[in-house]
Amino acid sequence: EINLASGESVTIHIVTLIKASNVTITNPVGVTSDTHDPDESNNHDNSSIYVEPEADLEIIKSVSDKSPQIGDMITWTIIVKNNGADTAVNAVVTDNLPSGVVYDSDDSKGAYDSVTGIWNVGDLASGESASLRIYTKVVVTNKVIVNLASVTSDTYDPNEENNYCNDSTTVPPVSDLEVTAVPDVTSVTVGDEVEYAITVVN
């Protein structure tokens, strides 16, 4: 309560914290006094703000084999979840396959482009998830293969720390050993000495 002289004004600032998304918040205000007011039409007002939708996308990646051999087929699995309160509109995953593997196929029914690495997930409702399996062939040896993936959408995401993930697989070294034994003579008799030249090649 305050007293206001004629022509005087006062302003109060109220700081609030937004606790909901995808809503219109209207704040009505009114003023009265003990003094007669002949025009009460301007004693009330309101203002509205719109809170944008919010989606918390999380991406998880895993590989089917942590120690494959060259020539083996391995599967990269990607799961995208919407942990937010609203629909994630136009969710898109980027997964460019690393060197050391060659793309074979996937189960996205055309939504994943192996050339661009783009997987068009589409809209994900709150609590909804989508998955993708990418099948690749290992074409290297003695290498750690790291596969990175990320996800975005047109909806505001307040927590981008879980929008990135990776998994790795280690291809062990490979050796192809060959051994030969060659005698220094081709014909001997009892009591003769024979010398063998043994050669090992990798």
Kindly report, residue by residue over 117-126, the tens digit of the pLDDT. Answer: 999 999 999 9
Structural contact between residues 146 and 168, judged by C-beta atoms closer than 8 angstroms: yes
pLDDT at 50: 87
* CA pseudo-torsion sign 109, 110, 112, 117: positive
User: How do residues 68-100 score in pLDDT, each as one tens digit?
Assistant: 999 999 999 999 999 999 999 999 999 999 999
Position 23 pLDDT exceeds 90: no
Position 15 pLDDT exceeds 90: yes
Residue 112 burial by Cβ neighbours in a 10 Å radius (0-12, 13-18, 19+): buried
The CA distance from 195 to 84, in Å, is 78
pLDDT at 194: 92
Dihedral-angle region of residue 84 (phi above 0 means left; psi in -120 to 50 means alpha; beta otherwise): beta
Across the chain, mean pLDDT equals 94
Position 169 pLDDT exceeds 90: yes
Mean pLDDT of 121-135: 98
* CA pseudo-torsion sign 63, 107, 95, 60: negative
The CA distance from 99 to 106, in Å, is 18
Position 18 pLDDT exceeds 90: no
Mean pLDDT of 50-63: 94
Beta strand 73-82 with 57-63 is antiparallel
Position 134 pLDDT exceeds 90: yes
Q: Where residue 61 falls among pLDDT bands split at 50, 70, 90?
A: very high
Position 20 pLDDT exceeds 90: no
Taking Cα atoms as reference points, which of 30, 27, 84 lies closest to residue 50? 27
Please give the share of the chain, as a percent, with pLDDT higher than 90. Answer: 83
Whole-model pTM? 0.77
The CA distance from 198 to 129, in Å, is 61
